[in-house]
Amino acid sequence: MLAIYVTYMYGGPKFVLRLIPSNGLTTLHLYNYTVDAIQEICEKGGTVYLIITDNYRVTQHFVELFPEYNPECCWKVKCPVTRNKLYLLCNPVHLMKSVHNNWFTEKSR
């Protein structure tokens, strides 16, 4: 399962924007889901500065689809929606900790 999880830089709510089945997920599907999520966030008045991914094989090539991708500086690309700088980070350990701390321990509403 792929979760597109949104958090604010300076506090505020954290939430799952989308849950997407990962069975058969391709790099292009992942890119398109990400662009759609960025578009939705921008339409609601938000700005995306950073995308944190795991080291799954699909996400290893996912960064290559972003505008102005450069293999020598693969952590910095252009946002396909706003054309602003967008930073990419691969950090599977942090993702697992974040899921545990923010998903499983969150109080039910």
What pLDDT band is residue 9 in, cutting at 50, 70 and 90? confident
Q: What is the spatial distance between Cα 61 and Cα 72, in angstroms, rounded to a whole number?
A: 14
Helix or strand (DSSP H, E) at 34: helix 27-43
| 85-108 pLDDT tens trace | 998 887 666 666 766 676 666 665
Contacts with 89 (C-beta within 8 Å, 6 or more apart), sequence order: 50, 51, 52, 53, 75
pLDDT of residue 94: 65
Q: What is the spatial distance between Cα 34 and Cα 4, in angstroms, rounded to a whole number?
A: 8
Residue 57: is it exposed, middle or buried by C-beta count within 10 angstroms (0-12/13-18/19+)?
Answer: exposed
The answer, yes or no, to whether residue 109 has pLDDT greater than 60, is: no
| 62-89 pLDDT tens trace | 888 998 888 888 788 999 999 999 988 8
| 13-34 pLDDT tens trace | 888 999 988 888 899 999 999 9
Residue 91's nearest CA partner among 58, 63, 52 is: 52
pLDDT of residue 100: 67
pLDDT of residue 88: 86
